[in-house]
Amino acid sequence: MVTHNDLTGSGWAVLATKAWATRECAVAVRTKVGAAVLVTSDDQLQQIYGGCNIEDLWKASSIHAERTAIANAIAHGARKIQAILVAAEREKFTPCGNCMDFIFQFGGPDCLIAFQGKPDGMPSPTAPRKSRPSWSPPSGNALPPAETAWTSSSSSAAPPARSVSRASRAARSTSTQPTS
């Protein structure tokens, strides 16, 4: 079992294998990126989840590998990540601000982050606390407890859907043209 405290050579190697394998699924014009997160469930079962970057044509809605790996873990019931390894064929790489926010939200300031620039290279780990020493977690949990999480069976707990009638959309989309 890979533990948070002894993520050394073999522990990082397991994450690296998953990150590089998942990187092959990336949809990217220039740099393919893969990521793998380590989570431990309440019953001490460890899992590794992977993610890759998915770029759209206009770059407005591209999804980074760090976020897809964390989203994959959350979608499988994880509540907190312990470590993340990012794999990309580059000399240096750090998660962007949005990805760091996601890592902080779901991993906290002690979550370990590592980058590997080559499949056989040495991972370079750090902790988010070192990159953002003034960060402090918001009050409460990152996710609501399971019994209060929004589900299809508890639709009354979900926020109201924003509905806009066709008539009001049509009224907003028509412009008034001056008549001559």
Which residues are CB-contacts of 142 (< 8 A; sequence separation ≥ 6)?
A: 79, 80, 105, 106
Q: Give 29-40 pLDDT, tens digit per residue.
A: 889 999 999 998
Does residue 122 sit within a domain?
yes
Neighbours of 145 (CB within 10 A): 9
Q: What's the total number of domains in the chain?
A: 1
Tell me, yes or no, whether 60 lies in a domain.
yes
Residue 87 forms part of a structural domain = yes
- Does residue 112 lie in a domain region? yes
pLDDT digits (tens, 9 = 90+) for 39-66: 987 777 889 999 999 998 887 889 999 9
pLDDT of 22:
97
In a domain, 163, yes or no: no
150-175 pLDDT, tens digit each:
333 434 444 444 444 444 444 444 44
Q: How confident is the model at residue 85 (pLDDT cuts 50, 70, 90)?
A: very high
The pTM assigned to this predicted structure is: 0.70
Whole-number pLDDT of residue 51 = 98
Domain range spanning residue 138?
Answer: 9-149
Whole-angstrom CA distances from 69 to 64, 76, 86, 99 are 9, 11, 10, 11
167 three-state secondary structure:
helix
- The whole-number pLDDT of residue 46 equals 87
Find tokens 């294998």 and name the residue.
17
Dihedral of the CA atoms 83, 89, 91, 95 (nearest 10)?
Answer: -40
**Is residue 71 domain-resident?**
yes
**Choice between 164 and 99, residue whose per-residue pLDDT is larger:** 99
Please check whether residue 125 lies inside any domain of the structure.
yes
CATH code, domain with 58 = 3.40.140.10
Q: In what order do the strands lie in the sheet with 124-126?
A: 46-52, 33-40, 81-88, 112-116, 124-126
149 versus 31: which is more confidently predicted? 31
The strand pairing partners of 88, in sequence order, are 33
pLDDT on residue 129 = 63
pLDDT tens-digit map of 102-144? 998 999 888 899 999 999 888 888 766 666 655 565 555 555 4
The verdict on residue 159 lying in a domain is no
